[in-house]
Amino acid sequence: MTEAAPAARVLVVSRDDAMCAQAVQALGGAGYDVECAPDAASAFARAEAQPPRLALVDLGLPRREGWTSLTRLRALPVPPRVIALVARADHRAFAQAIREGADAYVFRPFVAADLLSLCEAVLTRASTPPDREVRQHIRRLVSAEVTVLSAEGVALAAGEMANLGAGGAHVRLPVCLGPGTRVRVLLPVPFGDALVVDAAVQWNGRTASGFAHGLQFVDLTLARRRQLADLLDVPGD
């Protein structure tokens, strides 16, 4: 558990009882104070009465209740950090959630341990100001499937993306790729056709379930740079 977890209040906005129960069990067991709301109106009322530090918003709610919840929570005087819960194949919602102000993203169904790790990362980042006001590359926290190919286009491994920026990504894979290895990354967000970006491995490290890798994007065309900038909602070149 990180220092961000104790006493942190989390509001889960979803009508999926099983998913809510999974979130309550995973986060409540780690010391979070978790409450669930089934729609935008009740979520906003509870957030006004007792502001949460973090909200998990299911964007699959009917009548766009998830999107309404995201907008209204982000408009509070002291808005909570928001993690968008996105259907595994709904990449358009993933891209739109970035523009709507979500701080991080997780595809559902999710693994409880991954959700807990993402929540802790979001709250830790929120409580730790960056050393510089302006960073070279804005990073978006995201828990999403990603496929890594060889430079020749042969599939190497499927894994999980932990964050995405205009200049690179952090991915977790079941195999270890050495620094300097050239790869191609099939990003989980399509722009018409799937977006494939060339990258070089900068570092690797062992994790409980495999290996973490830092990737730097290379040989980006102007069109690719603009696509990434548009997705991440940052100024392009």
Q: For residue 94, what pLDDT band results from cuts at 50, 70 and 90?
A: low
Q: Stretch 124-147: mean pLDDT, rounded?
A: 57
Q: Where are the domains of the chain?
A: 9-127, 139-232
Q: What percent of the chain has pLDDT over 70?
A: 77
**Which comes out higher in pLDDT, residue 106 or 131?**
106
Report field, pTM of the whole predicted structure over 0.85: no
218 and 200 in contact (C-beta within 8 Å)? yes
pLDDT at 226 over 80: no
Pairing relation of β-strands 211-217 and 196-206? antiparallel
* pLDDT score recorded for residue 188: 57
Q: Which CATH architecture has domain 9-127?
A: 3-Layer(aba) Sandwich (3.40)
How far is residue 19's CA from residue 26's CA, in Å, rounded to a whole number? 11
210 and 159 in contact (C-beta within 8 Å)? yes
Instruction: Record the tokens describing residue 237, joined without a space.
Output: 């070149």
Query: What value does the mean pLDDT of the chain take?
Result: 80
Residues 162-203: tens digit of each pLDDT:
788 888 888 989 999 999 999 998 875 544 455 788 999 999
| Overall fold of domain 139-232 | Thrombin, subunit H (2.40.10)
* pLDDT score recorded for residue 190: 42
Residues 64-75: tens digit of each pLDDT:
898 899 889 988
26 and 74 in contact (C-beta within 8 Å)? no
* pLDDT score recorded for residue 198: 92
Whether 139-232 and 9-127 are alike in CATH topology: the answer is no
Using a CB cutoff of 8 Å and minimum separation of 24, what contacts does 129-137 make? 136/167, 137/165, 137/166, 137/167, 137/168
